[in-house]
């Protein structure tokens, strides 16, 4: 029974799986001498996971088998293959447990045939196929690659044609592909591949260039292929190679490379355009000359010749420059742009032209030249190459030799005379200079004159005598151009430039200052109208220098300070007056600085300032909380007062006035500094002693009866610098020494300087209060006095006052008063009369009550009783008992 079940299990297992051995579909076409790999795998098997394989070879599908190699038996090979197996020419490589690969390093023509892959059985039941065959066809290696050597050197912008002949003998259906690559150093980069299916694949760097037509493939006949690279640049240099590959198309759609050959075509160098580009400028009338002389109104014609090895491949941008200034340009598309006119004005047409006469020749023309057209003319060439169809690449830029152009004409001639019609004798007087033009010759029709004035200061008056400062100028049209230094004076009218006659120019200064002394020069220029109607300067003459000077009297400022109010104690007011006197100044305004310093060697501080326009400002040394205590006023035309209220100890030091005199040439103009001076110094010096205090104590009555109120008064008096009531406060303490309690003093109560009263806990039924009667008087009240309140009393006071010198609350020395005695009397009658009165009243009451009670009892007991004789028997009985 068990054997039947085992047989049935094997049958079921065999029915569920069948071994399948597969090899690649054939036939396989390979080239002699090339490596060959044939894979074999097995599936749907049972037994161990790692399977063994055996390879056999048959000349025909049903011929005799020849053992090649086994994956598990090293002695499996036939003797015809044993040497090749031993040398490694034939080997089997296990890829997986169920897959191996037969490798032939160099296949031979005799290796053609059918290759059988066989797997020994490990299955429980024989089922499926245990071997598979594939046909291998070996053809001779007829692949030939014959490149044509490219030119070793080409010009930048030229086209490079790379020709490569790739052929093979068509024995079996195989296909070809050709690849061009460029090698730079050790790096090789593919340019383009054509085939094997007729498709084109480009390298990443050349994809855009190929798409835009920069690289073209030109298939030829008989295996000739050409690759054309247009507009070569220096980045295209390198060693070019041609690769030919033979392919076979196997079943399943796979392309298999079966042969390959790479040939070096040659190294190509690209000559930069700049090496061969030459530019030459010359006059059209004399190509060999480098200079040209013209008269005003003539036409200027210059030629620019351009040569280059690759000139047809270049797009040129041509520009003409005059003294480095670009005047006209023809861009690479042939559009002409006129940048400036011959006189420098923008955008005028017809004066300059540029045209191309033939390839490489460009002509510049300027009609109606003037003196402004003279200079060095150069031709600038920029060469461009169109890369990738859209992007322009500038390969070179060169500038020609200069051509010197001179435009000469007869210069106007005239004589200048500079005279002082009004010469100042002192400061602030007017000055008037006249510049006359005489003997005018050769001034063209419509010509005009312009003038410019210059001034050179005298040594020590604000400038270097060799340096000229421009005052201003009048051009041919009468436009005034002031110099930067004199602009404000011209705007205010203090200085004027004018043309009083066609040949006379004047300079007027209304109020001459010392800085105006020096040498004056007038320069007169001649202007003429050019062919475009513009005024151009043709010549200029300078006059001889004219010296303007006078004996100067230095402005003097004297300031005297005097003490108006003395600050003798803290809190008082200090007042300072300053008087100003001047010489050689005239009408002036004054600015005042109140300055101070703690000592003659300490830092100077600015307290307040007063401007010439009477604007008061506080200095940086002023305490913002005390600005209301400071006053600076102008008390007269040249008198100033400074007041400091509530002086403090920090205000002690030296005070003075720093006065500066200012003048104006005209109303509304800015102030000009004339001179300055400091006054003598006034000292604030006082000693801070503070107020003096004294204390006294008194009592309304030195003896009181018990339960009466006792009052004691503590009063203070102030002498010296008595502060204000609001600036004074006291701390008052009352002390008590018992009559029968020992010498120790005990604090009774106190009031601080803020008015807060504090009472000390006492073992007495009496109560105390402190009352402030006035600023300097404090009253101690003892309510319900007792015998324990008898003793000596005194007060202790600490004065506090607001110091006028420091502005802070100051604690004075503590004061202690003398002692006063308080006696609480003992009244005998008063102390006994109440007890006696109470006792007598009680005795009288008790007696009366006893009398009444006796009467009541007597009446009640005697009302119903009769006299009965005593029985003697009872008496006897008693006696016997």
Query: 306-322 pLDDT, tens per residue?
Result: 988 878 888 889 999 99
707 alpha carbon, distance to own chain's centre? 87
The pLDDT of residue 62 = 81
The pLDDT of residue 753 = 85
Q: Which of 359, 381, 407 is the last residue of a domain?
A: 407
Residue 582 pLDDT > 50: yes
Cα gap 733→756, rounded to integer Å: 12
Number of Cβ within 10 Å of residue 526's Cβ equals 24
> Would you place residue 390 in the very low, low, confident or very high pLDDT band (cuts 50, 70, 90)?
low
The pLDDT of residue 11 = 40
The pLDDT of residue 214 = 84
Same domain, 286 and 231: no
The pLDDT of residue 464 = 54
> Would you place residue 520 in the very low, low, confident or very high pLDDT band (cuts 50, 70, 90)?
very high
Least confident of 98-102, 448-452, 768-772, 828-832: 828-832
Q: Tens digits of per-residue pLDDT, 259-313?
A: 889 999 999 998 888 888 899 999 988 888 888 888 777 888 999 999 888 788 8
Residue 10 pLDDT > 80: no
Residue 743 pLDDT > 70: no
Cα gap 564→282, rounded to integer Å: 92
Same domain, 215 and 258: yes
Same domain, 752 and 819: yes
Between 196 and 875, whose confidence is greater? 196
Between 170 and 342, whose confidence is greater? 170
Q: Is residue 343 part of a domain?
A: no
Q: Tens digits of per-residue pLDDT, 547-580?
A: 998 877 778 899 999 999 988 777 788 999 999 9
Same domain, 421 and 489: yes
Which ranges of 282-375 would DSSP assign to H, the alpha helix? none
Query: Token pair 């070019």 is at which residue?
Result: 240
Contact 400, 320 (CB under 8 A): no
Nearest to 372 by CA among 344, 402, 339, 404: 344
If you write DSSP's letter for every residue of 3-16 in order, what string do you get? HHHHHHHHHHHHHH
Same domain, 701 and 817: yes
Cα gap 505→364, rounded to integer Å: 43
> Would you place residue 2 in the very low, low, confident or very high pLDDT band (cuts 50, 70, 90)?
very low
pTM tops 0.85, yes or no: no
On average, the pLDDT of the chain sits at 84
The pLDDT of residue 389 = 61
Residue 466 pLDDT > 80: no
Same domain, 595 and 702: no
DSSP code of residue 411: P
Same domain, 148 and 264: yes
- Distant-in-sequence, close-in-space partners of 529: CB < 8 Å, separation ≥ 6: 444, 446, 447, 535, 536
Q: Is residue 182 part of a domain?
A: yes
Nearest to 298 by CA among 248, 261, 342, 356: 342
The pLDDT of residue 236 = 87
Cα gap 758→772, rounded to integer Å: 14
Between 253 and 202, whose confidence is greater? 202
Antiparallel, parallel or unpaired: β 480-482 and 469-474: antiparallel
End-to-end C-alpha distance for the chain, whole angstroms? 152
- What is the arithmetic mean of pLDDT over 712-733? 81
Burial class (CB in 10 A: 0-12, 13-18, 19+), 503: middle
> Would you place residue 100 in the very low, low, confident or very high pLDDT band (cuts 50, 70, 90)?
very high
626 three-class SS: helix
For a pLDDT cut of 90, what percent of the chain falls above it? Answer: 27
Highest averaged pLDDT of the listed ranges 684-688, 731-735, 833-837: 731-735
The pLDDT of residue 878 = 42
CA distance to 173, 298, 324, 336, 378, per residue, from 402 (Å): 70, 20, 10, 22, 5
Q: Is residue 506 part of a domain?
A: yes
Cα gap 324→399, rounded to integer Å: 11
Residue 14 pLDDT > 70: no
Cα gap 136→37, rounded to integer Å: 11
- What is the arithmetic mean of pLDDT over 76-92? 90
Q: Is residue 835 part of a domain?
A: no
Q: Is residue 171 part of a domain?
A: yes
The pLDDT of residue 691 = 77
309 alpha carbon, distance to own chain's centre? 53
DSSP code of residue 502: T
The partner residues of 18 in beta bridges, in order of sequence, read none
Same domain, 305 and 395: yes
Give the range of the structural domain holding residue 579, as residue numbers without chain letter: 556-684
Highest averaged pLDDT of the listed ranges 205-209, 655-659, 687-691: 655-659
Dihedral sign from CA coordinates of 856, 859, 865, 870: positive
CA distance to 175, 192, 194, 196, per residue, from 201 (Å): 16, 6, 7, 11
CA distance to 17, 19, 21, 45, 410, per residue, from 127 (Å): 8, 6, 12, 9, 123
CATH classification at residue 760: 2.60.40.10
Least confident of 334-348, 403-417, 671-685: 334-348
The pLDDT of residue 8 = 40
Antiparallel, parallel or unpaired: β 131-139 and 28-31: parallel
Same domain, 586 and 660: yes
Contact 235, 385 (CB under 8 A): no
Least confident of 187-196, 392-401, 554-563, 818-827: 818-827
Q: Tens digits of per-residue pLDDT, 26-37?
A: 788 999 889 999
Same domain, 375 and 261: no
The pLDDT of residue 724 = 74
Residue 70 pLDDT > 60: yes
Q: Which of 271, 301, 317 is the last residue of a domain?
A: 271
Q: Tens digits of per-residue pLDDT, 496-511?
A: 999 998 889 999 998 8
Dihedral sign from CA coordinates of 739, 740, 743, 744: negative
The pLDDT of residue 625 = 81
Please list the helix, strand and coil fractions of the chain in percent, rounded to the nearest 5, in that order. 15, 50, 40
Nearest to 708 by CA among 821, 787, 771: 787
Q: What is the total count of domains within the chain? A: 6
Same domain, 699 and 660: no
Residue 874 pLDDT > 50: no
152 three-class SS: coil
The pLDDT of residue 688 = 66
Q: Is residue 440 part of a domain?
A: yes
Q: Tens digits of per-residue pLDDT, 587-623?
A: 889 999 999 998 888 899 999 999 999 899 988 777 8
- What is the arithmetic mean of pLDDT over 151-174? 88
Q: Which of 92, 114, 139 is the last residue of a domain?
A: 139
> Would you place residue 465 in the very low, low, confident or very high pLDDT band (cuts 50, 70, 90)?
low
- Distant-in-sequence, close-in-space partners of 338: CB < 8 Å, separation ≥ 6: 327, 328, 347, 348, 349, 351, 352
The pLDDT of residue 664 = 79
The pLDDT of residue 92 = 92
> Would you place residue 348 in the very low, low, confident or very high pLDDT band (cuts 50, 70, 90)?
very low
Contact 757, 772 (CB under 8 A): no
For a pLDDT cut of 70, what percent of the chain falls above it? Answer: 90
Antiparallel, parallel or unpaired: β 54-58 and 36-43: unpaired
Q: Is residue 858 part of a domain?
A: no
The partner residues of 809 in beta bridges, in order of sequence, read 802
Between 263 and 725, whose confidence is greater? 263
Contact 159, 228 (CB under 8 A): yes
Number of Cβ within 10 Å of residue 172's Cβ equals 13
DSSP code of residue 309: T
- What is the arithmetic mean of pLDDT over 76-100? 91
Residue 846 pLDDT > 80: yes
- What is the arithmetic mean of pLDDT over 430-436? 93
Between 639 and 127, whose confidence is greater? 639
The pLDDT of residue 665 = 65
Q: Is residue 834 part of a domain?
A: no
CA distance to 293, 376, 444, per residue, from 406 (Å): 5, 9, 20
Cα gap 88→83, rounded to integer Å: 9
The pLDDT of residue 349 = 36
74 alpha carbon, distance to own chain's centre? 81
Residue 719 pLDDT > 90: no
Same domain, 510 and 578: no
> Would you place residue 863 in the very low, low, confident or very high pLDDT band (cuts 50, 70, 90)?
low
């Amino acid at each position: 029974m068990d054997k039947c079940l085992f047989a049935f299990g094997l049958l079921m297992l065999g029915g569920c799986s069948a071994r399948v051995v597969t090899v690649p579909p054939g036939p396989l076409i390979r080239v002699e001498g090339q490596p060959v790999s044939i894979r074999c795998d097995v599936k749907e098997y049972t037994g161990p996971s790692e399977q063994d394989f055996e390879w056999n070879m048959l000349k025909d599908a049903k011929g005799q088998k020849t053992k090649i190699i086994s994956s598990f038996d090293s002695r499996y090979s036939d003797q015809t293959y044993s040497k090749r197996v031993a040398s490694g020419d034939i080997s089997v490589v296990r890829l997986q447990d169920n897959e191996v690969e037969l490798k032939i390093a160099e296949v031979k023509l005799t290796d053609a045939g059918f290759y059988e892959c066989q797997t020994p059985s490990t299955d429980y039941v024989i089922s499926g196929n245990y071997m598979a065959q594939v046909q291998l066809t070996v053809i001779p290696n007829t692949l030939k690659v014959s490149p044509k050597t490219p030119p070793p050197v080409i010009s930048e912008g030229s086209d490079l044609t790379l020709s490569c002949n790739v052929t093979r003998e068509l024995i079996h259906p195989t296909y070809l592909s050709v690849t061009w690559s460029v090698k730079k150093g050790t790096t090789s980069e593919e340019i383009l591949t054509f085939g094997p299916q007729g498709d084109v694949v480009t390298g990443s760097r050349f994809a855009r260039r190929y798409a835009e037509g920069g690289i073209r493939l030109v298939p030829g006949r008989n295996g000739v292929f050409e690759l054309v690279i247009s507009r070569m640049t220096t980045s295209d240099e390198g060693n070019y190679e041609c690769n030919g590959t033979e392919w076979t198309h196997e079943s399943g759609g796979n392309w298999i490379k079966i042969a390959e050959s790479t040939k070096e075509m040659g190294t190509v160098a690209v000559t930069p355009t700049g090496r061969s580009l030459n530019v030459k400028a010359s006059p059209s009338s004399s190509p060999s000359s480098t200079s040209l002389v013209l008269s005003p109104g003539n036409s200027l014609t210059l030629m620019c010749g351009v040569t280059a090895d690759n000139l047809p491949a270049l797009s040129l941008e041509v520009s003409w420059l005059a003294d480095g200034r670009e005047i006209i340009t023809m861009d690479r598309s042939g559009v002409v742009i006129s940048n400036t006119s011959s006189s420098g004005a923008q955008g005028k047409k017809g004066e300059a032209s540029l045209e191309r006469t033939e390839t490489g020749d460009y002509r510049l023309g300027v009609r109606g030249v003037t003196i402004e057209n003279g200079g060095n003319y150069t031709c600038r060439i920029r060469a461009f190459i169109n890369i990738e169809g859209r992007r322009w690449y500038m390969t070179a830029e060169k500038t020609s030799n200069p051509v010197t152009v001179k435009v000469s004409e007869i210069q106007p001639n005239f004589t200048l005379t500079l005279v002082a019609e009004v010469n100042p004798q002192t400061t602030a007087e007017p000055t008037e200079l006249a510049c006359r033009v005489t003997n005018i010759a050769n001034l063209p029709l419509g010509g005009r004159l312009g003038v410019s004035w210059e001034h050179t200061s005298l040594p020590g008056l604000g400038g270097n005598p060799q340096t000229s400062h421009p005052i201003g100028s009048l051009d041919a049209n009468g436009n005034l151009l002031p110099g930067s230094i004199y602009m404000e004076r011209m705007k205010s009218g203090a200085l004027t430039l004018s043309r009083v006659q066609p040949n006379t120019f004047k300079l007027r200064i209304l109020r001459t200052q010392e800085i105006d002394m020096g040498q004056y020069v007038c320069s007169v220029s001649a202007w003429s109208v050019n062919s475009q109607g513009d005024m151009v300067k043709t010549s200029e003459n300078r006059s001889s220098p004219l010296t303007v000077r006078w004996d100067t009297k230095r402005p003097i400022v004297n300031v005297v300070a005097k003490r108006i109010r003395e600050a003798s104690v803290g809190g008082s007011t200090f007042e300072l007056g300053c008087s100003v006197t001047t010489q050689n100044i005239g009408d002036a305004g004054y600015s005042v600085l109140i300055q101070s310093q703690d000592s003659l060697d300490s830092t100077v501080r600015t307290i307040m300032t007063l401007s010439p326009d009477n604007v008061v400002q506080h200095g940086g040394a002023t305490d913002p909380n005390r600005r209301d205590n400071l006053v600076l006023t102008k008390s007269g035309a040249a008198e100033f007062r400074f007041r400091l209220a509530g002086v403090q100890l920090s205000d002690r030091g030296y005070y003075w006035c720093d006065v500066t005199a200012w003048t104006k040439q005209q109303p509304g103009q800015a102030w000009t500094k004339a001179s300055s001076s400091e006054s003598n110094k006034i000292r604030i010096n006082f000693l801070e002693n503070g107020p003096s205090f004294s204390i006294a104590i008194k009592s309304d009555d030195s003896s009181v009866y018990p339960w009466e109120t006792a009052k004691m008064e503590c009063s203070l008096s102030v002498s010296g610098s008595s502060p204000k009531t609001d600036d004074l406060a006291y701390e008052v303490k009352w002390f008590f020494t018992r009559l029968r309690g020992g010498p120790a003093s005990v604090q009774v109560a106190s009031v601080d300087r803020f008015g807060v009263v504090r009472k000390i806990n006492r073992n007495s039924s009496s109560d105390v209060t402190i009352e402030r009667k006035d600023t300097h008087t404090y009253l101690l009240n003892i309510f319900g006095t007792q015998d324990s309140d008898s003793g000596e009393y005194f007060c202790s006071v600490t004065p506090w006052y607001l110091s006028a010198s420091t502005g802070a609350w100051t604690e004075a020395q503590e004061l202690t008063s003398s002692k006063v005695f308080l006696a609480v009397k003992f009244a005998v009658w008063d102390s006994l009369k109440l007890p006696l009165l109470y006792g007598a009243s009680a005795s009288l009451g008790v007696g009366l009550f006893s009398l009444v009670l006796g009467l009541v009892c007597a009446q009640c007991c005697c009302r119903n009783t009769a006299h009965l004789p005593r029985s003697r028997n009872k008496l006897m009985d008693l006696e016997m008992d």
